[in-house]
Amino acid sequence: MDPGHGGHDPGNLGGKGYRGFPEKTVVLSAALAIKKELEKTGRYEVVMTRSRDVFVKLRNRSRIAHNKQADLFISIHADSFKSPKVRGATVYTLSEKASDREAAAMAARENKSDIIAGMDLEEEIDIVQLILINLVKRETMNLSSSFANELIPQLGKAVILRTRPHRTAGLIVLKGLDVPSVLVEIGYLTNSQDAKLLMQKETQRKIGRSIVRAADNFFNKSYVAN
């Protein structure tokens, strides 16, 4: 479980007149609630990329998942938009080409995290890792899309979904991963209704339960397929 941002990187700060928490705080609270729901089942062990207000480099987040031999990587974020009327959750999977202009703009914002820390986003990747990525990339992207397709209808039972909720973008935090991975924007801090709901424990628990159902369906189908 990967709560976005953290430390000196607050993420987005909401819209005009917003008096709530920054994105880094909202998503950490939500991710911890999701972790609790997953672990309550007794079926899942959840590893956090961060469990407090610290900064973790984007590429280190995916390395944690790789080193822990994770079966699924879920990055939790809260979105922003110029119009305060826009609201709803979105699920992103990796693609070199963004599905639309808004997805491209979102990826550009999220990919800035390491620049804030004065780090080069294009740091060298070990040649062995590069070969591995190329070998598993297609299968991983297909599995990521499969999980997204399981998650979206379940997430829609917990929160309002954005128009065209499954989108794709070149998100660095999802690159280099050899496990199915999604980035979930659980709502918009620039929308007053979403912003209010996202820090409510019951909303966070509902999101957690939706992820449990999606994970159950995904792994049941994966095991049957294998």
Q: d(Cα 38, Cα 218) in Å, to the nearest integer?
A: 14
pLDDT in tens, 29-85: 999 999 999 999 999 999 999 999 999 998 899 889 989 999 999 999 999 999 999
Give the per-residue pLDDT at 124: 46
Angle at 183 between CA 180 and CA 186, to 5 degrees: 135
Give the per-residue pLDDT at 100: 78
Using CA atoms, how far residue 223 sits from 153, 160, 179, 215, 220, in Å, is 21, 30, 15, 12, 5
Hey, what amino acid is at 124?
E
pLDDT in tens, 160-210: 999 999 999 888 888 766 789 999 999 999 999 999 999 999 999 999 999
How many domains is the chain partitioned into structurally? 1
Please state the φ and ψ torsions of residue 215, each to the nearest 5 degrees: -65, -45
Using CA atoms, how far residue 99 sits from 66, 92, 128, 204, in Å, is 26, 10, 30, 27
Q: d(Cα 203, Cα 205) in Å, to the nearest integer?
A: 5
pTM of the model: 0.88
Q: d(Cα 110, Cα 102) in Å, to the nearest integer?
A: 12
Supply 178's token pair.
Answer: 């050899």
Where in the sequence is the domain holding 146, given as residue range(s)?
Answer: 2-225
DSSP state of 53: S
Angle at 58 between CA 216 and CA 185, to 5 degrees: 50
pLDDT in tens, 13-23: 998 888 899 99
Q: d(Cα 179, Cα 169) in Å, to the nearest integer?
A: 17
187: part of which helix (H) or strand (E)? strand 181-188
pLDDT in tens, 92-125: 998 877 777 887 787 788 877 655 455 444 444 4
Question: What is the separation, in whole angstroms, between the first and last Cα of the chain?
Answer: 25
- Enumerate the β-bridge partners of residue 167: 92
CB 160, CB 89: distance < 8 Å: yes
Torsion 24-181-98-153 (CA) sign: negative
Supply 175's token pair.
Answer: 């690159």
What CATH number should be reported for the domain holding residue 100?
3.40.630.40
Torsion 112-116-119-120 (CA) sign: positive
Give the per-residue pLDDT at 201: 97
Half-sphere exposure of 176 (CA within 13 A, CB side): 22
